Amino acid sequence: MDSYSKNLIGAIEKVKTAVVKVETFRFEKGKINPLGTGSGFLFSSDGYLFTNAHVIHRGNQYRIKLFDGSHYEAELIGEDPMTDLAILKISAIDFIPAHLGDSENLQIGQVAIAIGNPLGFQHSVTAGVISALGRTLENLGGGLMDSLIQTDAALNPGNSGGPLINLEGEVIGVNTATIRGAQGLCFAISINTAKDIANQLIRFGKVKRAYLGLSLQQIDLVPKLKSLVNTSNKRGLFITQVEKNSPADKAGILDGDILLSLNNIPMESSDALFKQLGEDKIGQFQYMGLIRNQRFLELRITPMEKGDQNSKPQKPHPQKIMVLN
């Protein structure tokens, strides 16, 4: 057997007992109505698991099927529709939780493996590479999901909430969506973002965050550009779109600017930016370092709470996402 296949098999072995099937039901008027199924994965020894918010949305009863075929009723700990993440908890003990990796140092071209339950085929595996990092997509509510990993590892309905792993068997993302009508354009929420969301959902049952209104793409900075603006950043965040009436729009940020720093802290990934946009930043002046026309520019921006009605969502992008439950 070739070494690539051996590495792939070894990675899957490390995480397979943590991958689960999520079944969502709604009990009302004396009847239990099935709403759909998706995927998830256990990440702690006491039974906490990740899935997508759209998998469990509108449900009030949840059943989890483990690798060995056993079933458990699950408790909803919390959901965050803005990042399409949810946390459930079960009482199972016979499993090995998935090891959560670090998405900060991912590289384009790195092998990515998706595991889930597409179309009811439990524990199906697909493999590909990381195609891009720091992507932003519109979610079903009209908001923006940031820090997404783009991969060509095939995802299908039912893959939602399953893990995207590397060759070491570490979870690097939570699978969430594809672009409708496209091939090889699949997306996962970066695991560093997911860790931050899980921490807040487990502690508080909800998430509060500061909002800027930017669509971003992580890029490498060429040496000439770094020299022109005198920055030590190896990477920056290319601003592909600014939402109308958003804090970024009001601050004068433009499509095509490159984000370098926030309050003089280098921003080389969407994960790094997400970590800085906590509740404490809402309504407080922040200073954003940018590259515009090969020159360094600093603008003042005042984040608002994400979901604030004063910020109106932009018109939907013509490329529609397709959730995978």
Q: Which residues are catalytic?
A: 54, 84, 160
What Å distances lie between residue 229 and 35, 224, 260, 282, 294, CA to CA?
Answer: 53, 9, 10, 29, 7
Distance of CA 243 to the CA centre of its chain: 20
CA-to-CA distance for 223 and 317, rounded, in angstroms? 33
- Between strands 124-138 and 85-89, the pairing is unpaired
For the record, the structure tokens of 292 come out as: 């515009």
Q: Bridge-partner residues for 294, per DSSP?
A: none
Contact predicate 130/108, CB 8 Å: yes
**Residue positions counted in the chain:** 325
Q: How many CB atoms lie within 10 A of CB 167?
A: 15
Contact predicate 159/175, CB 8 Å: yes
Of the candidates 213, 162, 146, the one whose C-alpha atom is nearest the C-alpha of residue 15 is 162
